[in-house]
Structure 1
Amino acid sequence: MMAKPVIGYPRLSNYMGQFPEVAILRRFGNLGAQNLLYLQCELVHLEHQLRQVELADNQSNVGQKSQYAVDWFYLSQSGLESDRQQLDLFLKIRKRLREYNEAVIQQAAIAALPEPSAYDLNDLQQFLERPDMGPVALDGLDSLVWGSTTDPDSRASDLISLRGRHDEDSFSKWATEKATVRIFRWFGHKFTTPHPHYGEVVCNDRDVLEVTRIITSVFASLLPVASTVVLYIVESMAARLGIIAAFSVVFAVSLCRLTTARTSEIFAATAAFAAVQVVFVGTNGPHTGASS
């Protein structure tokens, strides 16, 4: 068995590598924006200089300068002459423009990364405060980045997660972040062993999500059946209409809590479900029981 990583960055990085959801870092959006602004400003000045040099060269009678704007060959050959201001300026712009474009793309990609969930951030805070991380897990200025369990609001305001949690529905999120924690806290030691490096019972979210998916699927299959059975048993038309309304409400709430459906999709699915119930009532009159 491999020895535990050294306390500090090695152990923290190993934890983040094992569980990417807690790979929480600063985005440094202010510094990134400042860098883009400086690059933009530099390019604005370089562009202004280039336009002035282009105009001067175009009006010049010296050599082939007047051809620079219409024939790249002459501009490229200006490097062999004593006056190559326009070419040097454009080559400098090319380098800065590549740096600027790369910075813009990187900032856009970083800005698209999700913020960490409160659950994952708290998990990281607890990890840094565990006894096996020593009395002081990190001692530098960066130790304040994630805040603490006693003062979670002291964290940096621009945190991102390298792999945010899936776009889970409310039920799955509750199961992975709350129910599972309580279950393993009470009974986990009875059917699994603690992680060899972290000393706690570890549960893979994929396993929990598979269970919630099965539960959701079973519920989705039983709801229409239950509605049909109740509508078949009840004879009063007024009661049937009330039952349709009640099951439609249950269906809509279930979509909100058990799926990630958008509002428009919930409206459409609920309308279809209600229509199926109405058609059933319309084609099946009041149940009179078996004939004697």
Structure 2
Amino acid sequence: MAGSKPVSGYTSAHKEGFANIARWIALDRDSETSIYRRFNQLSARNLLYLQCELLALEKKLERLDQNDLDSDDMGLKDEARTWETFMERYENGNQEAKLRKELIADLRARMKEYHEALLLQSEIVKLKRPNKRVLEAYRHWFQKPYPVLGGAAKETLDDSDDLVALNTLPEGDYLSMLLRRHWPATEEVSRDGLYHIGRFKETSITIAVAFISILVASFLLIGSIVGLYFATDDALKLGLVAGFTAVFALSVGLMTNARRAEIFAATAAYAAVLVVFVSGNISNSWPES
């Protein structure tokens, strides 16, 4: 999805309220506009409540364990050691067994809820924040000329730190970002009629970046070899090696998501290939100092 730009004219919304938002989100083929609240504080609070409930159950079980240890009732001790005895006493209506069975059932239910909440939250925290460009377009469409939704829902997009995107862009390199700003897009007039919101397929950006990367990589490899082959002056050869190496490092940094250490390693390997190519032809007859 592209950003927005001023236009003239006005196109009214096709639907109202939640139906209009659902329609607008569904129009994005890459699902970049699937942006929702994360509810970080509420999620943490819910986990804390579940944790405290389990702590209370843990205390009750510890008291039962201590009672089993201190009691002189051999039946109670046997109940604590043997599951069959425990179930028999429970089925016969023994109060201690009934209390223990209720605690076990409560523990299972709350432990299951707690662990499921933990696992879900661990997946939620892995989700990334929405793209700034997409969020700005979404906010403009959502809020202008008036909020699509009323009540508390109209502030849904206000807190950027509490928003999560269900799908984020796979590429964050500078070339991809540059192409997204200028890529031809299907335009949609915003609700206030003052801006166009452009939509395009992310796959088209991916294909374009891959094509440009192949061309640049081919030029840097074939062009450097051809240039060094026809160069006759040793100083010119060294200059070509330095120039092509610098361009290679720059292209890796701008066209890929490589880290600094990876850029350094790739550049060193590229420079080594060029040096090996020309090392047999560079003259060793440098002027003596």
TM-score after normalising by structure 1: 0.81
* Count of aligned pairs: 262
Post-superposition offset of 1:136:
4.0
Query: Equivalents in 2 of 1:146, 1:212: separation in Å?
Result: 31
Query: Equivalents in 1 of 2:87, 2:260: separation in Å?
Result: 59
Residue deviations 1:206-265 (CA, integer Å, cap 9, x gap): 112211211111111111112112222332323322322222121112111111223333
Name the residue aligned to 2:82: 71
**Is the counterpart of residue 12 in structure 1 residue 16 in structure 2?**
no
Name the residue aligned to 2:182: 179
Name the residue aligned to 1:99: 113
Query: Equivalents in 1 of 2:279, 2:117: separation in Å?
Result: 64
Query: Equivalents in 2 of 1:243, 1:68: separation in Å?
Result: 86
User: Which of the numbers 75, 79, 95 marks the counterpart of 1:82?
Assistant: 95
SS in 2 for 1:25: strand
Gaps of 5+ in 1: 148-154, 185-192, 287-292
**Is the counterpart of residue 216 in structure 1 residue 213 in structure 2?**
yes
Query: Equivalents in 2 of 1:72, 1:263: separation in Å?
Result: 61
**Is the counterpart of residue 205 in structure 1 residue 219 in structure 2?**
no
The aligned runs of 1:1-292 (5 Å cut-off) are 6-19=15-28, 20-62=31-73, 64-80=75-91, 81-83=94-96, 84-129=98-143, 135-147=146-158, 155-176=159-180, 178-180=181-183, 183-184=184-185, 202-285=199-282
Tell me if the contact between 1:21 and 1:162 (Cα under 8 Å) persists in the aligned partners.
yes
Q: Is the deviation greater in 220-229 or in 65-74?
A: 65-74
Q: Flag the 1:76–1:248 CA change in 2: closer, same or farther, 3 A.
A: farther
**CA-atom RMSD in angstroms:** 2.5
Query: Equivalents in 2 of 1:29, 1:48: separation in Å?
Result: 29
Query: Equivalents in 1 of 2:238, 2:80: separation in Å?
Result: 79
Q: Is the deviation greater in 236-245 or in 96-105?
A: 236-245
Residue deviations 1:58-89 (CA, integer Å, cap 9, x gap): 44343632123332222333422232222221
Q: Flag the 1:272–1:194 CA change in 2: closer, same or farther, 3 A.
A: closer
Q: Flag the 1:48–1:136 CA change in 2: closer, same or farther, 3 A.
A: closer
Residue deviations 1:82-139 (CA, integer Å, cap 9, x gap): 32222221221111111110111111111110000101101211322467xxx44122
Query: Equivalents in 2 of 1:115, 1:194: separation in Å?
Result: 25
State, as a whole percentage, how many aligned pairs show the same letter: 31
Query: Equivalents in 1 of 2:89, 2:244: separation in Å?
Result: 80
Name the residue aligned to 1:290: none
Which structure shows the bigger proportion of residues in strand conformation?
Answer: 2
SS in 1 for 2:36: strand
Q: Flag the 1:8–1:75 CA change in 2: closer, same or farther, 3 A.
A: same
SS in 1 for 2:59: helix
Query: Equivalents in 2 of 1:123, 1:114: separation in Å?
Result: 18
TM-score after normalising by structure 2: 0.81
Query: Equivalents in 2 of 1:129, 1:47: separation in Å?
Result: 49
Query: Equivalents in 2 of 1:101, 1:216: separation in Å?
Result: 46
SS in 1 for 2:164: strand
Q: Flag the 1:129–1:67 CA change in 2: closer, same or farther, 3 A.
A: same
Name the residue aligned to 2:8: none
Query: Equivalents in 2 of 1:196, 1:96: separation in Å?
Result: 50
Which gives a bigger RCO, structure 1 or 2 (Cα 8 Å, sep 6+)? 2
SS in 2 for 1:108: helix
SS in 1 for 2:246: helix
